[in-house]
Chains A and B, each alone.
Chain A
Amino acid sequence: MLFAGNFVASTALAQGNVALEPSTILDVKPNKCVALNEGRSCFASVNISWRLKAEQSYCLVAVNSVDEADELGCWRQSKVGNINLDLELTRSVDLKLVTLDGKKVLASSVFQVSWLYESSPRKRRWRLF
């Protein structure tokens, strides 16, 4: 799934002021991706799995640093689940399981995007794109 730069405006998902359900797990493997240069897309095949305290309906969303969210999938009356995704990202995102109305975060995890070389016009001399 490609969701680099095409986030949809979120509701309360990105506000960070909602309580997190305690005994839930959202596991992302791998949970980081390293690009050669800052600003370059980073590609990763990830497995996201979760286990909730009780069966309920929810969506998996990715929220970027400017609070834009992209919906990756929704499930109805489910307690556990997993999904394999091909990610292409230029920045880190928060992966969150949220209720269908988007008002409650059930679980959260960070997928980190980093790079080897910082972006610098001058350093094009030394670095490849």
Chain B
Amino acid sequence: MVRFLTKCVHFGGLTIYICASDIANILKIGKNERINIKAKLSTFLTAVAILLFASVSNAEVIKDDGFQWNVEIAVAIISDPSNLVGAEQKETSDYFGGSLILDLYYKGFFIESNRHRLNYQLQSSDFGYELVSEDTYDIDLLARSYINPFDENNAGVIFEELNEELEGIEPRDAYLLQGVRYTGYRNNDVYWFSVGVDILDGVHHGWVLDGFYTSTYHLRNWDLQLGAGATLFSANMNQYYFGIEQGESSDSRPIYTPSAGYRGEFEISGRYPVNEHWLLTTGLTLSHYSKSIDDSPITARQNVLRYVLSVSYVF
């Protein structure tokens, strides 16, 4: 997935930021690319691991050999106060953004955005290998970044702008956690449960448990979707993203060591086909963070209400 906000182009899946104001830096490795290099290494290692695993897994599993793809370009109005300090939207341009979303599938391998979530346009892509695909469920090997990366210049939906309240923190990168996902399909409901562990990068050695249930209702040509779920983060992962180390601490940002925590989410969204190529999407996501995350000096609020109104061109 490639996503871009007004000031930058952001390759979400591989996490590459490209700013319109400085196209020349596309080929450079600068401060803002630190996130990206680590993420790309993680992506590469994960891809190799999945490839190796897939090659020795059950050879009798018949895969759909066809190469399949899906590309969408979306422009959106996004209201996302973020749970991070100083990441609130201030200028009008902060509310406008866009994405280039690329999904690929080939012989069981996939790069995909989670279309069952409203925020698929804002999240990094998932990488994986389909172990089992039945009518009612899928089981996948999965590499996924469960928390969006941030640093002192990129937080929430604000990119390429110094966040004074985060100034001096070490970048929190988009490491892909390796794990397994079970996805169930029942009538118009989709639900999944995944576990991810930081094995290959070994940066924080944390783990994540993620579960979500969505139900879709057809109202004439609209799809109305209701969903709820929770993500449990280990103490190690919380420490990496929301902890404050000695070197980052200051008078206003004391050392902080969080315990395990969670993020609970409720979502309602609607999708409407404007014509054969244009899709209208709108919805709300309410995120509630645990006290261990809310108590971090770099978080500002325990509840975040995000609103998205987007139009996408589907190729």
Are A128 and B116 in contact, with the CB atoms below 8 A? yes
Residues from chain B with a CB closer than 8 A to the CB of A114 are 275-276
Are B223 and A128 in contact, with the CB atoms below 8 A? yes
Interchain CB contact (< 8 A) of A34 among B216, B271, B274? B274
Closest to B185 in A: A124
Interchain CB contact (< 8 A) of B273 among A115, A120, A126? A115
Does A29 belong to the interface (CB within 8 Å)? no
A125 to B190, CA, bound (A): 10
Q: Which of A57-87 contact B (CB under 8 A)?
A: none
The answer to whether residues A129 and B188 also contact, given A115-B273, A123-B70 and a CB cut-off of 8 A, is: yes
Closest to A86 in B: B220
A95 smallest CB distance to B (angstroms): 20
A4 smallest CB distance to B (angstroms): 13
The answer to whether residues A34 and B105 also contact, given A126-B70, A126-B115 and a CB cut-off of 8 A, is: no
Are B273 and A125 in contact, with the CB atoms below 8 A? no
Q: Number of B interface residues at 8 Å Cβ cutoff, please give it.
A: 30
A116 to B281, CA, bound (A): 13
A123 to B225, CA, bound (A): 18
Range, interface on chain A:
20 to 34
Are B112 and A126 in contact, with the CB atoms below 8 A? yes
Residues from chain B with a CB closer than 8 A to the CB of A123 are 68, 70
Closest to A124 in B: B185
Closest to A127 in B: B115
Residues from chain B with a CB closer than 8 A to the CB of A93 are none
Query: Which among A13-21, A35-43, A46-54 touches the partner chain?
Result: A35-43
Residues from chain A with a CB closer than 8 A to the CB of B64 are 122
Q: Which residue of A43, A116, A120 has the most chain B CB atoms within 10 A of its CB atom?
A: A116
A126 to B138, CA, bound (A): 13
Give B219-257 as 1s and 0s: 1 = Cβ < 8 Å from A's Cβ atoms.
011010100000000000000000000000000000000
A40 to B279, CA, bound (A): 16
A2 smallest CB distance to B (angstroms): 12
A122 to B110, CA, bound (A): 11
Q: Which of B164-202 contact A (CB under 8 A)?
A: 185, 188
Residues from chain B with a CB closer than 8 A to the CB of A7 are none
Does B113 belong to the interface (CB within 8 Å)? yes
Q: Which of A95-129 contact B (CB under 8 A)?
A: 114-117, 120, 122-129
A34 to B221, CA, bound (A): 8
Are A129 and B216 in contact, with the CB atoms below 8 A? yes
Are B68 and A36 in contact, with the CB atoms below 8 A? no
Residues from chain A with a CB closer than 8 A to the CB of B276 are 34, 114-116
B147 smallest CB distance to A (angstroms): 22
Give B97-120 as 1s and 0s: 1 = Cβ < 8 Å from A's Cβ atoms.
000000101000010110110000
Does A26 belong to the interface (CB within 8 Å)? no
Does B90 belong to the interface (CB within 8 Å)? no
A5 to B225, CA, bound (A): 27
Are A125 and B221 in contact, with the CB atoms below 8 A? no
The 6 closest A-B pairs by CB, nearest first: A43-B220, A116-B273, A34-B273, A36-B273, A126-B115, A126-B103
Q: Which residues of B contact A (CB under 8 A)?
A: 64, 66, 68, 70, 103, 105, 110, 112-113, 115-116, 138, 185, 188, 216, 218, 220-221, 223, 225, 271-279, 314
25 A-B contact pairs sorted by A residue (CB < 8 Å):
A33-B221, A34-B275, A34-B276, A36-B273, A43-B220, A114-B275, A115-B273, A115-B276, A116-B273, A116-B279, A122-B64, A122-B68, A123-B68, A123-B70, A125-B103, A125-B110, A125-B112, A125-B115, A126-B70, A126-B103, A126-B113, A127-B70, A128-B115, A128-B271, A129-B188
Beyond A43-B220, A116-B276, 10 extra complex contacts between A and B, CB < 8 Å: A34-B273, A34-B276, A36-B221, A36-B223, A116-B278, A122-B68, A126-B112, A127-B115, A129-B188, A129-B218
